[in-house]
Amino acid sequence: MYLKTFTDEKLAQNAYLVGCQQTGEAIIIDPPRHFNHIIEDAAKEGLEITAAADTHIHADYVSGARELAIKHGAKLYLSDEGDKDWKYEFTDGIKSQLLKEGSKINIGKVELEVMYTPGHTPESLSFILTDFGGGATEPMGIFTGDFVFVGDVGRPDLLEEAAGIMDTADAGARDMFNSLKRFKALPDHLIVWPGHGAGSACGKSLGSVPTTTVGYEKQVNWALNIDEEEAFVKELLKDQPEAPTYFAKMKEVNKVGPAILEEKEIPVILNKNELNEWLGKENTLILDTRLAEEAQSTLIKGSINIPFDSKFTNWVGWLAKYDEQLLLLTKDGERKEVQQALESIGFDAIGAFIDENVISEVETDTYQTISMNEFINEIDDDDVVVVDVRNKTEWDAGHFDQAEHLFLGKLRQLPLPENKRIMVHCVTGARSAVAASILKARGCEDVNHMRSSYGETIKQM
């Protein structure tokens, strides 16, 4: 058997390639939208991708399953559990098998047995792997998707928080409680291959270790150590992070069927006149992906700056809109990677890239970076408003008395303070820099951001 993990660090998402070396067949579990690197790895091992399986209808990225079926003839294995609202709608005309509790997927002499594990979502499945080709008679491990993570379990509130399906969080938490009873009955030695690691919004305290075991999780995972249902439900629903707004769109896309990607040549804007032509169109957003230190003094007026780092896709998903055409101010060598990151969460409407030389021809904006001492000295001034862009859990744990809470993910829509000098902060300065660019794009004149954290600053006051 061949098994390899492929992690998209910007989504903290794990896909798994499982192959039978005796027959040359392979399956991708929870495939990403861009999967050529996985196909290439399989080919090096003499394997052909013959199948793909999703553990559930994903909310945080576009699944590559449909694309694998249409472009490569892969047979799809998809959940048929849950109610009528959570059934896949794109299986007509492609090879597929719908899965229930106890169904089997055979990839050569590797077997995946389906375990129905609702809680994160009503249709969620896990796959228990046995390598019969290697002489095993007992399972080796379990692919848990968004059911069990390292140190955490999948959040059950996304249908309510992101998709707007009310009164589902409590029911999902109770489903999770019962699913975990079955998980705890599995052999301790089973390896757990989770769908996500630290950085994903699909749980509240995911570990950064890539794999674990059933036995280890039974010892250390908080969710497996609460035996009373009401206490478990209360703890699971408490302090979950805000659900990114794009999650609702991903649920719809992955249920109905993602669009098939086609090769396309994206134009490059080379001068001011070309840029103005694009900006004359409706619903156009300039997205600047440079580092904040570089962008803060040369922001094209009206643009927002989301640096191309590990948090890029998350904040684009929060802040950009699917009906907006994106103009990307991106370094030449990063353009393809930025495009793929955007497409991974369904932002296919990329109008053009903007050459960096255009900056010198157009009107630009700037915001200031201030020190902790400057922040402290001015926090009580009457003409200053302090804006805290951290999430609600961070705000509730402690905040400046003078501050207004304007969560970064909703900052493009929230009412803003008028005629004030704004001092914005978060923890490291990364989120406050993004916020500062949004505030400038929305017309705020005097915007400053502080890199120091609330905790560090409060100690000095």
The two structure tokens encoding residue 215: 């036995």
Annotated domain spans of the chain: 2-256, 268-365, 368-460
What is the residue whose two structure tokens read 């399972």? 139
Residue 38's pLDDT is 98
The one-letter amino acid at 421: R
Burial category of 428 from C-beta neighbours within 10 Å (exposed 0-12, middle 13-18, buried 19 and up): exposed
Beta-bridged to residue 143, according to DSSP, are: 127, 193
Strand boundaries in 261-359, DSSP class E:
268-269, 284-288, 299-300, 304-305, 325-329, 350-354
Residue 237's pLDDT is 94
> What is the CA 404 to chain-centroid distance, rounded?
27
Residue 207's pLDDT is 84
pTM for the model stands at 0.95
Contacts of 79 (CB under 8 A, 6+ apart): 54, 55, 56, 57, 86, 88, 98, 99, 123, 124, 125
What is the CATH T-level fold of the domain 368-460, as seen in this structure? Oxidized Rhodanese; domain 1 (3.40.250)
Q: What is the CATH number of domain 268-365?
A: 3.40.250.10
Distance CA 234, CA 232 (A): 5
> What is the CA 416 to chain-centroid distance, rounded?
27
Residue 461's pLDDT is 83
Helices 246-256 + 312-319 axis angle, to 10: 90
Residue 377 in contact with residue 346, Cβ under 8 Å?
Answer: no
Q: How is the chain split among helix, strand and coil, in percent rounded to 5? A: 30, 25, 45
Residue 392's pLDDT is 92
State the CATH architecture for 2-256.
4-Layer Sandwich (3.60)
Asked whether the domain spanning 368-460 has the same topology as the one spanning 268-365, the reply is yes
Q: What's the angle, vertex CA 244, arms to CA 320 and CA 144, rounded to 5?
A: 130
Contacts of 402 (CB under 8 A, 6+ apart): 379, 380, 386
DSSP H or E run through 29:
strand 25-29
Residue 145's pLDDT is 98
pLDDT < 70 stretches in the chain: 162-164
For the beta carbon of residue 100, count every other beta carbon within 10 angstroms: 11
